[in-house]
Structure 1
Amino acid sequence: MPRIPTVELSRYLLAGHIASPGCLRNARARARAATLLPGNNARAALGPSRQLQPRLQQQQARYLTTETTPLAAASTTTTPPPPAAPFRKQLKEQAKALKKSGANKKKKSSDNQTVPGWELTVGIEIHAQLNTSHKLFSPAAVTSFNDSPNTHVAPFDLALPGSQPLFQPATLVPAIRAALALNCAIQPVSRFDRKHYFHWDQPAGYQITQFYEPFARDGYITLYARDGIAAEDGEQIQIGVKQVQMEQDTAKTIAQPGEVQWLDFNRVGVPLIEIITLPEIHHPATAAALVRKVQMVLGSVDACVSGLEEGGLRADVNVSVRKVGEGGKPIGELGQRTEIKNLSSFKAVEDAIIAERDRQISLIESGGKVLGETRGWSLGSTETRRLRGKEGEVDYRYMPDPDLGPVVIGQDLVQRLKETMGILPDEEADGLMGRYGLSAKDALALMLLDGGARVQYFYNVLDSLEERLAGEGQAVPEKGAEHATLAANWCLHELGKLTDSVSSGSESSSLEGLEGLQMTPQGESPLVPSSSLASILFHLHSRTITAKVAKDLLWAVYRGEVPDQDVTGYIDTNNLWFKELSEQEYTKLADEVLQGEGKVLGEFKKWKEGKMKAYPQGKLMYLVGKMMREGPEGRVEASGAEKVLRGVLERFLEG
């Protein structure tokens, strides 16, 4: 087939124009010639072998004029069909029509938690990589993401003949910590089983796991409204944990062009725990909140190496639906479940459950049957996709591993780990909200960022800031202090702006080579030390520098422009101190700003006379902004200007 010129292809795609010299053009020429013949000889003119069949006549009727006219009339009256609208324009018009009709309007998450007449049931399996230095059954080191492929592999990891598993007892410590944090009962004796299946990522032909006798059972996790559960679940809900079991990971598969798969055996044998919940979740948002909460819990007890987005955590969800009758009572047994594998974000958990729920309901309502199968989900999708039929217990042929003895866990070890658990997420969130006055959203954000290191960074900043304040003789309140809220805001938002600028490339010339904050588990950043941020916040809180100068100082520290992290010396050297206006100067500036603002002052009069319920805060901030613009540069501070302006307005309103 000859190559189609790019110009002709673009005309077809964008304007629907066909420029082919083939069958269609020839058919038009033959029909045009037929119109020149008299009477009924039009068909005969094509010859016996070219007589048109009925179907071809119908096809030509879409393109050809059926009337036969004299040559002169045809040359003057026949007009070409109107050109087709460009393809992009057609798509745009279709999108407008859909938007106008509301057919493609996506529901808000809060409005998409239930379907009238149906009950959703979800159980979750969470695989977490344990924070250990060795693999589960070999002395090979656990690899990091940046290590060269196939460099941390022992003979047993490759299932070489004669190699046997050697259980590494140190892997029990983070596993038991995780199970205790999930309120599980630690079993004194547990055993390993073989789960048989053949796949290239499992060289032995089986995976070693704990199916019949796991090391932990009968736990639970409590979710609160602040965790992001669905409104239908109220203020809190408790989800049962059926069991927590240890198992080995598989090889990493790297797809290559041409249906070629590369295998990295560094990951084979890496120790995992699998957390299996009971099927007690009935809303998609609550399922996502549970995965998020489990990640926080595992991070708080140092059991897991990283979170969901970093690959240290993987979530599989089991979804089923059934009808409900009057009063919301379920009808019949639980429906046939399907499993959605390897969800890689909290949003993916919620969206995939919604899509699979809607698919199952639509299938049942149309007379179909839900099949037990494994399905997949891609980010940005609107529906799940079938991967394979569901394999049951019989297919896996579980059997006790003959090469591994029972695992005996002493009660003294369990008690010791229980006593050294540290602060769990719920207790920490209560402290951040109660003692420091943070909102639930900010408290949880601090606890989640940088794998839990950001909240420790906040504590380090706060300790340094309070030490500076106390050294200057300033009182430090124990609860709800303004300086604590200030520190939390900067640890969340202003530090976030640094990393956002690096990732977006907006500061590439000055930040080349920097990667985020490089936060350590101890809550320290080599780029923005907690002591440097505390020094900036001390001067900002003491109103010796402006907010703009404080933000510029943060960038200077991040770029390494402040020598020896001496923030105070850098301010003094560059003459960045804030020389704020006196109260008399503020009052004079406020009087000048109010000149010519009769309409704005009228709003305050209406409020004073009771004609407006709410204080015109927006108008007040408009005047404050005007003061900052018209006042001496670098000498007007928003809070000071607002305080004086309120007094001037009050005196004005009193006559």
Structure 2
Amino acid sequence: MARIAPRVLRSYLLGGQVPARGCLCRRTATPARSAVLRRYHATQAIQPTAESAVPSAAIPFRKQLKDEAKQRKAEGGEKISKVDNQTLDDWELTVGIEIHAQLNTPRKLFSSAASTINDAPNTHVALFDVAMPGSQPTFQKETLIPALRAALALNCNIQKTSRFDRKHYFHWDQPSGYQITQFYEPFAKDGHITLYAHDGIAKEDGEQITIGIKQVQMEQDTAKTISQPGDIHLLDFNRVGLPLIEIITLPQIHHPSTAAALVRKVQIILESVDACVLGMQSGGLRADVNVSVRNREKDSLTTKAMENIGEGGHENSQVNGVDQEEESSPTETEGEEDRFGSYAGITGLGQRTEIKNLSSFKAVEDAIIAERDRQIRVLEFGGVIAGETRGWTIGSTETRRLRGKEGEVDYRYMPDPDLGPVIIGQDLINHLELNLGILPDAEISTLVEEYGLTPKDALSLVSLNEGGRHEYFRDVVDQLLLLPLDKDQDVAGKLCITWVLHEMGGLTHEDADEENPLRITRDGDCIIKAPELAVLIYYVQKNKITGKSAKKILAELFACGLRGEVRKTEELIDEAGLWFIPLSAAEYEELARSVLDMTVVEQILAGKGGKINFLVGQMMRKDGNGKVDPQEAMEALRKVIEEFRK
């Protein structure tokens, strides 16, 4: 957290009349205080073992990985990729995730102020949002609906009675000095989410893996901090009090890519049931990851011994040098219970650290890899992992320490005296279950089985544009089947996916929005209208135009859409003169002779028939109007090359 200069903070208090002397000033380090600080920082330092007392003899873990990569490269191997960096032989990684998602509601959680973050700063703020004396929270019942839809989609058990608690801490973005959350009695528990290979999980996890969800709770968001030059921070209270859900997983993830896949799938699920409409790319979803490592061989023996200890067993068993009794203590995590190491029968986990506020799927995977490698490096040097909160910056290679767990003020959780319990009727749960809609896994299965798509393409369709690309794809297929193409739905699906997902995905323009250049809405509307794209695909399949010409027309349809012009596919083909007119045999032969390379010809005559594809490519490049058919070009080349045989 950036430090605020006292002169800036004083200006906000008592009209700027707070005296500087003795107030909000940096404390002078007395000799006694300095000695305490030195002892504290010494306990955080890495203490080398006897074997590594000589610095020159120690090899850092990251350097060891680089040296191994260089050795593999010298032996003809390839550089380590993320795919190959999911599992280490001697160490086991364990990850638990907390996902914070903004609910799709018109009002805030405890006030009637509008729920928006896009309007002018501080224009949607109620008295309770800024903790004005005498103001009271009023639970907005409609915020419960998207929260319940999310919990049901995550296979959770809905608790008929839940309650709100106060989590006390002081920070400028929390004007009341506490956050209202559901710590003790959340509204949903004991869920799970199943991840498949096409979701992007690590290959070590096989075809599928199920991750448990401990609980889902409602809570309020904080104000938005806008940093300015000169250590100035502005606050936008439009965001304070926005309704969030926090999804807490069990520590059952052991590979970085699986962790990223879980966050990605949770976002897709929440969008599909209309619980949350803003994803990571828009700041509506954030993830905190809890990372720990343990030595497989050493700690497996320790874990086995711990499991054999009865209630009267030893209290000082250690794993990775950390006291297990302290690790599961209720005060271990800044006053919170240990959510990731002392429940569901999980024992023997290493000391964990928490990485806060990860805002992209790539950041989740990269931060976990970096923190895993850092912890292994510390432990191999004989050090101890400190329970602490760490940060991550995109593009960096190391996590950074933000604050320690030890010495943090207790959150002092207590039931909120101003809010009654939330009672949820079974009739409401039944109604939401019946109207939950089709979840992403079912949509993907339909696309694969009925439309002939690959699981990877199906997942991309479902996840892009908040599901809008999927709706657009179905519209294009329906329009194509209305034309005299004489194709089944699965064949039409395979034809359309190439254009909807791949060709349209590559369209760019200086006037286009970077995040959504095609302006695809959640309902499937697009600036390239579905009937016009279907006609374009139809003409390609009927050999009325070539694929190369079709790409030119697609780009023109895109440009017209950006300008707000409504144009027909046939009109654009007529204007550009791109209707396919086959070349004559003489024209093919002339073009073939113009690209002959005698070195390549000799290789083909010597038996390397595949080299002819190079010459076919040369003919295609010389074709400015897209009239060259690859098969006709290959036949013309073979005929010309045969003339060189003796």
Query: Shorter-chain TM-score: what band?
Result: 0.7 to 0.9
Assess if the C-alpha contact under 8 Å between 2:202 and 2:258 holds in 1: yes
Q: What's the counterpart of residue 136 of structure 2?
A: 164
Is 1:144 aligned with 2:135? Answer: no
Query: 1:197-255 deviations in whole A, cap 9, x for unaligned?
Result: 11110111111111111111111111112111112211111110001111110000111
1:124 to 61, 74, 97: 97
Matched, 1:422 2:437: yes
CA RMSD of aligned residues (A): 3.5
Q: 1:578 to 1:144 in 2, by over 3 A?
A: farther
Distance in 2 between the 1:391 and 1:519 partners? Answer: 49
Using the TM superposition, give the Cα deviation of residue 292 of structure 1 relative to its aligned residue in structure 2, in angstroms.
1.1
| 1:382-426 residue CA offsets vs partner (Å, 9 max, x unmatched) | 111111122799811111111111111122221222122222222
Answer 1 or 2: higher relative contact order, Cα 8 Å, separation at least 6.
2
Question: SS at 1:220's partner residue?
Answer: strand
Counterpart position of 1:577: 579
Deviation (angstroms), 1:569: 2.6
Q: CA shift at 1:589, angstroms?
A: 6.7
C-alpha distance in 2 between matches for 1:133 and 1:581 = 62
User: Is residue 590–residue 648 contact of structure 1 (8 Å, CA) maintained in 2?
Assistant: no
Deviation at 1:522, TM superposition (A): 0.6
In structure 2, distance between residues paired with 1:428 and 1:329: 45
Counterpart contact for 1:465–1:538, Cα < 8 Å:
yes
The answer to whether the 8 A contact 1:498-1:555 is kept is: yes
Q: 1:307 to 1:585 in 2, by over 3 A?
A: farther
- Indicate if the aligned counterparts of 1:593 and 1:623 stay in contact, CA closer than 8 A: no
The aligned counterpart of 1:220 is 192
Would you say the 8 A contact 1:586–1:644 is kept in 2? no
Per-residue Cα deviation, 1:149-195 (whole angstroms, up to 9, x for no partner):
00011111111111111111111111111111111111111111111
How far is 1:359 from its partner?
Answer: 1.5
Q: 2:501 aligns with which of 461, 479, 492?
A: 492
Counterpart of 1:494, as a letter, is: E
- 2:486 counterpart residue number: 475
Q: Residue 574 and residue 636 in structure 1: after superposition, are their counterparts in 2 closer, same or farther (change >3 A)? A: closer
Q: 1:273 to 1:103 in 2, by over 3 A?
A: farther
* Matching of residues 131-530 of structure 1 within 5 Å: 131-145=104-118, 147-325=119-297, 331=303, 332=319, 333-390=348-405, 395-467=410-482, 469=483, 473-479=484-490, 481=491, 483-499=492-508, 501-502=509-510, 516-525=517-526, 527-530=527-530
Cα pair 1:217 1:244 within 8 Å, conserved = yes
Deviation at 1:430, TM superposition (A): 2.3
Task: Give the total of aligned pairs.
Answer: 531
Listed one character per residue, the Cα deviations across residues 543-572 of structure 1 (whole Å, up to 9, x for unaligned) are 212223222222222222795332213323
Please give the secondary structure, in 2, of the residue aligned with 1:291: helix
CA distance in 1, matches of 2:564, 2:422: 55
- Select 1:624's aligned residue among 607, 616, 628: 616
Question: Is the contact made by 1:135 and 1:141 (CA closer than 8 Å) also made in structure 2?
Answer: yes
Q: Compare 297-306 and 392-401 and name the one that shifted more.
A: 392-401
Structure 1, residues 239-294: CA drift from partner, whole Å, max 9, x if none?
Answer: 10001111110000111222221100000111110000001111111111111111
Superposition TM-score, scaled by structure 1 size = 0.74
- How far apart are the structure 2 equivalents of 1:495 and 1:104? 39
Please state how far the C-alpha of 1:600 moved relative to its aligned partner.
4.3
- Residues 340-387 of structure 1: CA deviation (Å, up to 9, x unaligned): 000111111111111111222222222222121111010111111111
Against the structure 1 CA distance between its residues 645 and 226, is the aligned structure 2 distance closer, same or farther, given a 3 Å change threshold?
farther
* Matching residue's letter, 1:543: N
Amino acid at match of 2:358: L
Q: Distance between the aligned counterparts of 1:337 and 1:201, measured in 2?
A: 27
The offset of 1:514, in angstroms, is 11
Unaligned runs of 5+ in 1: 1-97, 503-507, 608-615
Change (3 A) 1:647 1:437: farther
Q: Report the residue type matching 1:497 in the other structure.
A: G
| 1:58-87, Cα deviation, whole Å (9 max, x unpaired) | xxxxxxxxxxxxxxxxxxxxxxxxxxxxxx
- The 3 A distance-change label for structure 1 pair 645 and 247 is farther
The match for 2:534 is 534
| Alpha-carbon distance in structure 1 between the residues aligned to 2:513 and 2:372 | 46
Distance 1:488-1:396 versus aligned 2 partners, 3 A rule: same
Find the residue that maps to 1:243 and give its secondary structure.
Answer: strand
Task: Report the CA distance shift for 1:512/1:599 in structure 2 as closer, same or farther (over 3 A).
Answer: closer
Q: Which moved more, 1:149-158 or 1:352-361?
A: 352-361
How far off its partner does 1:593 sit?
7.8
Separation in 1 of the partners of 2:606 and 2:150?
62
- Contact kept, 8 Å, 2:477 with 2:489, in 1: the verdict is no
**Distance in structure 1 (CA, Å) of the matches to 2:570 and 2:564:** 10
User: Does the aligned pair in 1 maintain the 2:182–2:218 contact within 8 Å?
Assistant: yes
Counterpart of 1:529 in structure 2: which amino acid? K
2:627 aligns to what? 636
DSSP-derived class of the 1:454 partner: helix
C-alpha distance in structure 2 between counterparts of 1:312 and 1:120, whole Å: 28
Provide the C-alpha distance between the structure 2 equivalents of 1:522 and 1:624, rounded to a whole number of angstroms: 43
The TM-score, its normalising length taken from structure 2, stands at 0.75
**8 Å contact from structure 2 (residues 485, 538) kept in 1:** no
CA–CA separation in structure 2 for the residues paired with 1:638 and 1:99: 50
Please tell me whether the aligned partners of residues 142 and 266 of structure 1 are also in contact (alpha carbons under 8 angstroms).
yes
Tell me, which stretches of 5 or more residues in structure 2 are unaligned? 1-65, 74-78, 304-318, 320-347
CA–CA distance in structure 2, aligned partners of residues 423 and 329 of structure 1: 46
Provide the C-alpha distance between the structure 2 equivalents of 1:258 and 1:600, rounded to a whole number of angstroms.
Answer: 69
Rate the CA distance shift 1:232–1:112 in 2: closer, same or farther, 3 A. same
Deviation at 1:646, TM superposition (A): 10
Name the structure 2 match of 1:545. 545
Structure 2 CA distance, aligned partners of 1:111 and 1:447?
27
Gap change, CA 1:643 and 1:567, over 3 Å in 2: same
Residue matched to 1:112: 85
Indicate the SS of the match to 1:176.
helix
Q: Secondary structure at the match of 1:565?
A: coil
Q: Cα distance 1:575–1:117, how it changes in 2: closer, same or farther (>3 A)?
A: closer
Partner of 1:23: none
Query: 1:490 and 1:262 mapped to 2: Cα distance?
Result: 45
